[in-house]
Amino acid sequence: MIHKYKLNGYNICLDVHSGAVHVLDDIAYDILDFCDENMTEQPPEKMMVCLSDKYPKEELEETYAALYELFTEGQLFSADDYEQFSDLMTKAPIKSMCINISHDCNLRCEYCFAAKGDFGQGRCLMPLETAKKAIDFIIANSGTRHNLEVDFFGGEPLMNFDVVKQTVEYARSIEKKYNKNFRFTITTNGLLLDDEKIEYINREMHNVVLSLDGRKEVNDKLRVTPNGKGCYDIIVPKYQKLVASRGDKDYYIRGTFTTFSKDFTADVMHMKELGFEQLSIEPVVSDPKLDYSIKYDDLPAVFKEYERLAKTLIETRRKGEFFNFFHFMIDLDQGPCAIKRLRGCGCGNEYVAVTPQGDIYPCHQFVGEEAYKMGNLNDGTFDTDMKLRFARANVYSKENCKDCWAKFYCSGGCNANNYQYEGDILKSHKVSCELEKKRLECAIMIKAALADMDTDSKSDCDSDDCFAECR
Amino acid sequence: MKTTKHIKTLNNANLKESAVKGGCGECQASCQSACKTSCTVANQKCEK
Ligand code: SF4
Ligand code: SF4
**In sequence order, what DSSP letters do the residues of chain B get, joined into one string?**
-EE-SSEEE-S---HHHHHHH-----SPP---STT--S--GGG-----
Q: Which residues contact A9 (CB under 8 A, 6 or more apart)?
A: none
Please provide the average confidence, as pLDDT, over all residues in chain A. Answer: 92
Cβ within 8 Å, pair A340-B22: yes
What's the confidence (pLDDT) of residue A467?
33
- At A469, the pLDDT band (50, 70, 90 cuts) reads very low
What's the confidence (pLDDT) of residue B47?
67
What's the confidence (pLDDT) of residue A466?
35
d(CA A222, CA A233): 14
Supply the ipTM of this predicted assembly: 0.87
- At A84, the pLDDT band (50, 70, 90 cuts) reads confident
Contact A43, A28 (CB under 8 A): no
Reply yes or no on whether the pLDDT at A238 is more than 60: yes
What's the confidence (pLDDT) of residue A462?
43
d(CA A282, CA A264): 9
Residues of B in contact with A111 (CB under 8 A): none
- At A85, the pLDDT band (50, 70, 90 cuts) reads confident
Cβ within 8 Å, pair B35-A282: yes
At A105 the three-state DSSP class reads coil
- At A470, the pLDDT band (50, 70, 90 cuts) reads very low
Taking CA A50 as the corner, what is the angle to CA A44 and CA A55, rounded to the nearest 5 degrees?
A: 95
Give the mutation candidate from B1, B3, B4, B9 for the A interface (greatest A CB count, under 10 A).
Answer: B9
Higher per-residue confidence, A178 vs B30: A178
Q: Of the residues A299, A399, A401, which should be mutated to test ligand 1's pocket, given the most ligand atoms within 8 Å of the CB?
A: A401
Q: Which residues pair with A185 in a beta bridge?
A: A151, A207
- List pLDDT tens digits, range A115-141: 777 777 788 999 999 999 999 999 999
* Statement: the pTM of the whole predicted model exceeds 0.90: yes
- List pLDDT tens digits, range A363-411: 999 999 999 999 999 999 999 999 999 998 888 899 999 999 999 988 8
Contact A345, A351 (CB under 8 A): yes
- List pLDDT tens digits, range A251-273: 999 999 999 999 999 999 999 99
- At B44, the pLDDT band (50, 70, 90 cuts) reads low
Cβ within 8 Å, pair B6-A27: yes
CA of A286 to the centre of ligand 1 (A): 18
Cα end-to-end span (Å), chain A: 27
What's the confidence (pLDDT) of residue A232?
98
Beta strands in A278-432 (DSSP E): 278-283, 324-325, 351-354, 359-361, 375-376, 381-382
Closest CA to A416 of A361, A377, A354: A361
Closest CA to A302 of A358, A263, A244, A348: A263
Reply yes or no on whether the pLDDT at A443 is more than 50: yes
Chain-centroid distance, C-alpha A248: 21
**Amino acid at position A352, single letter:** V
Closest Cα in chain B, distance from residue A25 (Å): 5
Q: Any residues with Cβ below 6 Å from ligand 1, and which?
A: A 398, 400-401, 404, 406-407, 410, 412-413, 428, 433, 436-437
- List pLDDT tens digits, range A295-343: 999 999 999 999 999 999 999 999 999 999 999 988 888 778 888 888 8
- At B34, the pLDDT band (50, 70, 90 cuts) reads low
Which residues in B33-44 are b (16+ Cβ under 10 Å) and which e? bbbbbbbbbbbb
Reply yes or no on whether the pLDDT at A189 is more than 70: yes
What's the confidence (pLDDT) of residue B11?
92
Helix axes A195-204, A232-244, angle to 10 degrees: 50
Share of chain A above pLDDT 90, in %: 80
